[in-house]
Amino acid sequence: MKIGVLIFPGSNCDKDAVWAFQNMFGQEVVELWHKDTDLQNVDLVFLPGGFSYGDYLRSGAIARFSPIMQSVIEFANNGGLVWGVCNGFQILCESGLLPGALLHNDHQKFNCKNVFIKTETNNSKITSLNEVGKALKIPIAHGEGRFYCNDELLQELKANDQILFRYCDENGNVSDETNPNGALDNIAGICNKNRNVFGMMPHPERAVDADIYNTDGRTMFESLLQLVNS
Amino acid sequence: MKYAAHINIMPHKALLDPQGKAVTGSMPNIGLPSVSNVRIGKHITLELEAANETEAKQMVETACTKLLANLIMESYEYTLVAL
């Protein structure tokens, strides 16, 4: 599988993503600069975390209009696989490839810690091998991760099985106490209606290497690679 | 014609505004305990060239709806001044 990792001015998780795909899973990776327009025939575009364009105006708002994103939007609209984590999720919401928006955390703090998320559905290319309901320990690092959408859209997300992950405790119980940012319905990750664009605030690419004592993020990469390679 | 636009962007009233809440909480510290419901948005000014006011308004609308405001979380209003 050939992966394209986007790099914007202010991206800071791009190397983690490259490391994960290349060194942990042996995939071919190309780095795509924000001023590029050629996606180099990649099979998946990965939008990493960070603070693209300094988070000026709103997180992801300026990145959405960079030259590379015009190609990514076209790629996604033609069914191409796109996965955004953290700032990548924010950019995908700003670009309209994913519904909803990410607001400032409800407590005004930047959260950098391990949290638990549970998989809500196997019906996606990044969760097919995950056990539904099982808590996974995945790091978060964000100040603007409070997923929000209106009631109508929330019902649509539920009806279409688009909610991929929700914040929970280590036993998979979802409550206000396990919600690190005030996200609507504890939502940590979603996909689009066509199920080819995925966004999540937690960082699975930081949880794939046994050397750092957390490999709970591996199944998402394995799900993706198994499906695409098969 | 050259115009200046003065744009106000505010978070929707139904949404929690953590910045506003934090600032409200500090009002008693400056002796103003009766101040409530502080909400914080953005004020943006810009200048543009347009043939007339209608075209200028269309340009400001485009700027607001495509980039300056995210209508899922914010609303905007503006005034236009001929320079």
pLDDT value for A228 = 56
* Distance (Å, whole) CA A54 – CA A95: 17
Q: Look up residue A194 and give its two tokens.
A: 């066509």
What's the DSSP call for residue A130? S
Q: Exposed/middle/buried for B77, CB within 10 Å: 0-12, 13-18, 19+?
A: exposed
pLDDT value for B81 = 97
pLDDT value for A227 = 59
Question: For A173-211, how does the pLDDT look when each residue is reduced to its tens digit (9 = 90+)?
Answer: 999 999 999 999 999 999 999 999 999 999 999 999 999
Q: Exposed/middle/buried for A17, CB within 10 Å: 0-12, 13-18, 19+?
A: buried
How are the residues of chain A apportioned to helix, strand and coil, as percentages rounded to the nearest 5?
A: 30, 25, 40
Indicate if A205 belongs to the active site: yes
To the nearest whole angstrom, how far is the Cα of B55 from the nearest Cα of chain A? 23
Question: For A106-120, how does the pLDDT look when each residue is reduced to its tens digit (9 = 90+)?
Answer: 988 999 999 999 999
To the nearest whole angstrom, how far is the Cα of A182 from the nearest Cα of chain B? 10
Evaluate whether A197 touches A7 at the Cβ level (below 8 Å): no
pLDDT value for A67 = 97
pLDDT confidence tier of residue B79, bands split at 50, 70 and 90 = very high
Whole-Å CA distances, A142 to A6, A20, A49, A90, A222:
19, 20, 9, 11, 25
* Distance (Å, whole) CA A55 – CA A48: 14
Indicate if A170 belongs to the active site: no
What's the DSSP call for residue A176? G
To the nearest whole angstrom, how far is the Cα of A11 from the nearest Cα of chain B? 20
* ipTM, two decimals: 0.88
Mean local confidence (pLDDT), B3-10:
98
Q: Look up residue A59 and give its two tokens.
A: 């997180």
More confident residue, B77 or A230: B77
pLDDT confidence tier of residue A226, bands split at 50, 70 and 90 = confident
Check A13, A34, A86, A144 and give the catalytic one. A86
* Distance (Å, whole) CA A227 – CA A198: 15
Q: From A48, A64, A47, A76, select the one nearest A194 (Cα to Cα).
A: A76
User: pLDDT above 70 covers what percent of chain A?
Assistant: 98
* Distance (Å, whole) CA B13 – CA A23: 47
Using a CB-CB distance cutoff of 8 angstroms, which residues of chain B are in contact with residue A65? Answer: 67
* Distance (Å, whole) CA A45 – CA A75: 9
A40 pLDDT more than 90? yes
Q: From A71, A52, A75, select the one nearest A62 (Cα to Cα).
A: A52
User: pLDDT above 90 covers what percent of chain A?
Assistant: 97
A214 pLDDT more than 90? yes
Nearest to A103 among B67, B68, B73 (CB): B73
Using a CB-CB distance cutoff of 8 angstroms, which residues of chain B are in contact with residue A100? Answer: 72
Residues in chain B: 83
The three-class DSSP label of residue A67 is helix
* Distance (Å, whole) CA A67 – CA A141: 27
Tell whether A149 is within 8 A of chain B (Cβ).
Answer: yes
pLDDT value for A108 = 82
Nearest to A104 among B19, B67, B72 (CB): B19
pLDDT value for A103 = 96
Tokens 């599988």 sit at which residue?
Answer: A1
Tell whether A182 is within 8 A of chain B (Cβ).
Answer: yes
Tokens 């940012």 sit at which residue?
Answer: A181
pLDDT value for A229 = 53
> Which contiguous run of DSSP H or E holds residue B10?
strand B2-11
What's the DSSP call for residue A24? I
Using a CB-CB distance cutoff of 8 angstroms, which residues of chain B are in contact with residue A149? Answer: 72
* Distance (Å, whole) CA A164 – CA A157: 10
Q: Do A57 and B15 touch (CB under 8 A)?
A: no
Indicate if A86 belongs to the active site: yes
More confident residue, B46 or A226: B46
Question: For B10-55, how does the pLDDT look when each residue is reduced to its tens digit (9 = 90+)?
Answer: 999 999 999 999 999 999 999 999 999 999 999 999 999 999 999 9
